[in-house]
Structure 1
Amino acid sequence: MRFNCIITCLIALSISACKQSPLKLISIEGKQIPVSDTLAIDQEYDSLIAPYRTRLNEDMNAILSYAPETYTKSNGELNTAIGNLMADIVYTEGNPIFNIRTNKNIDAVILNHGGIRAIISKGNITTKTAFEVMPFENSIVVVAIKGKQIDSMMQYLSEAKRPHPVHGITLALNKEYQIKMALVNNKPIDKNKTYYVATNDYLYNGGDNMRFFKPNDSVYHLDYKIRNAMLDYFKKVDTIRPTIDNRFTISK
């Protein structure tokens, strides 16, 4: 009996001795490894990806259209040629899809000025151009909203004082940025009418404080990226000719 007790005590001491104290973080050390020409290329890996890189470069540099001049998002006060082009593309390429699915038409388009991420340089327009101008994966959505929300959209534009790309609307402001005239498809806004406004999924979800899309009667996801709409448009048009017009202006 005494022997068994001794054995039990020895086992308990052994188990206790095996337990480790909790580990504690004492310090973190690291070093910066710059990515430069001094880093050796892994020839085996490089040869593996070479065919894909070549094909990608061919696709990205494929010529789709031509720009007779350079277009930037800073060239214009409340509407720019490049912004007008993008809004018009969303309508031109998105409306046929929306019409086939719903038998309705898009009334207006609104995008965000900050979504234009590069210029379109004078010369050949390539696939790479579209990826540079629109690097995001934003897709086109069409939102059914009432006229009173269109009023809110117009008020947003007047207060933002930025050339957010639009299509299908005419908005004129006075020198104090107050609304003088607001039209949709050249007609006064009917507060009780349902309008179909195309935008992107980021703005629909409240991006850039565009909160006038909710609540809404319905929303239609076209599953069509804006960048893809640009690519489709460029393939159809030999030469782009966007202009600054009177869709969004201010009196001087």
Structure 2
Amino acid sequence: MTPSIQKGKGILILLLTTLLLASCQKQFAVSRSDYKQYNIDQQTGEDSSMVKYYLPYKQKMQAEMSRVVGQTEQALTKPGNPETLLGNFFADFMLAEGLSREPSVQFALATKGGLRTTWPKGDITVSRVFELMPFENEIVVLKLNGENVQELADFVAKKNGQPVSGMRMKIRNGKAIDIEIAGQPLDKSKSYVLVTYDYLADGGDELDFLKKGVERRDIGRKVRDALMDYINELTRQGKKINAQLDGRITIVNE
């Protein structure tokens, strides 16, 4: 190859590189922006092809959500203080589930606000379980020192009662007194094992002090899944869901 041809190719490569760099650095600006709103309301017609596509999945989901998993002997209501039928049932379930995973568990805590519905007397369907616990909360076991347990009891007292199991206490002037854990008076020099769910263990619902627990174990199981299995097992044994107000939290006026 002659020097003149080499020089020509070099100039061509340089020119192409310059043009490429120039094109990469070119700035574009929006010259016009059009906007049109499409309303979706009762007047909007169905897309028959889309309906045909999702209908089998919808029917399958509705069939599953309508499936009866258990029955209640009475309506499990949430209104009321300091105990509720629904709260006691749910806390007792949490304690049973905690003990099945960690035998050292002594008591359980939930919150009224975390239980999103009530259950009527009669059939309980899959959809009702989802309505009660619609979140992806997971079960957590916490080891707390005695001071943390006192804080927890004072929180329950301030809220005029919360769902608990394995714990008994009285409320006087908004403060917790006569606290018992697993049938024994609270000893602030000891440690105790609580089962709850991650939202509360992470400090939700004004429970920041739970983040100061001595130890934490994430079970890796959703509360809703565990509840479904708990109800299925009751049904398998021929039992109905039941609850009672048993004085685990009482208000004294002295």
TM range (shorter): 0.7 to 0.9
Paired residue for 1:35, among 37, 41, 54? 41
Q: Distance in 2 between the 1:231 and 1:117 partners?
A: 16
Aligned to 1:79: 83
Q: Distance in 2 between the 1:195 and 1:35 partners?
A: 55
Q: TM-score, normalised by structure 1?
A: 0.82
Residues 58/190 of structure 1: CA separation in 2 closer, same or farther (3 Å cut)? same
Q: Distance in 2 between the 1:179 and 1:20 partners?
A: 68
Amino acid in structure 2 at the alignment position of 1:35: D
Aligned to 1:5: none
Amino acid in structure 1 at the alignment position of 2:153: M
Question: Over residues 16-67 of structure 1, what are the superposed CA-to-partner deviations in whole Å (9 max), with x where a residue is unaligned?
Answer: xxx878559x99966472433x322222222222222222112111111112
Amino acid in structure 2 at the alignment position of 1:172: K
The Cα of 1:98 is off from its aligned counterpart by: 2.3
Aligned to 2:12: none
The answer as to whether partners of 2:93 and 2:227 remain within 8 angstroms in 1 is: yes
Residues 208/28 of structure 1: CA separation in 2 closer, same or farther (3 Å cut)? farther
SS in 2 for 1:208: coil
Residues 72/44 of structure 1: CA separation in 2 closer, same or farther (3 Å cut)? same
The Cα of 1:242 is off from its aligned counterpart by: 0.8
Number of aligned positions between the proteins: 230
Q: Distance in 1 between the 2:181 and 2:36 partners?
A: 59
Q: TM-score, normalised by structure 2?
A: 0.81
Aligned to 1:244: 245
Paired residue for 1:52, among 57, 74, 96? 57
Q: Distance in 1 between the 2:34 and 2:162 partners?
A: 46
Residues 51/94 of structure 1: CA separation in 2 closer, same or farther (3 Å cut)? farther
Tell whether 2:139 aligns with 1:140.
yes
Residues 215/20 of structure 1: CA separation in 2 closer, same or farther (3 Å cut)? closer
Residues 34/21 of structure 1: CA separation in 2 closer, same or farther (3 Å cut)? closer
Q: Distance in 2 between the 1:221 and 1:214 partners?
A: 13
Q: Which runs of 5+ in 1 are unaligned?
A: 1-14, 100-104
Residues 180/216 of structure 1: CA separation in 2 closer, same or farther (3 Å cut)? closer
Aligned to 1:169: 167
SS in 1 for 2:77: coil
Structure ID, larger Rg: 2
How does 1:68-217 map onto structure 2 within 5 Å? 68-74=73-79, 76-99=80-103, 105-161=104-160, 163-174=161-172, 176-217=173-214
Q: Which runs of 5+ in 2 are unaligned?
A: 1-21
The answer as to whether partners of 2:153 and 2:179 remain within 8 angstroms in 1 is: yes
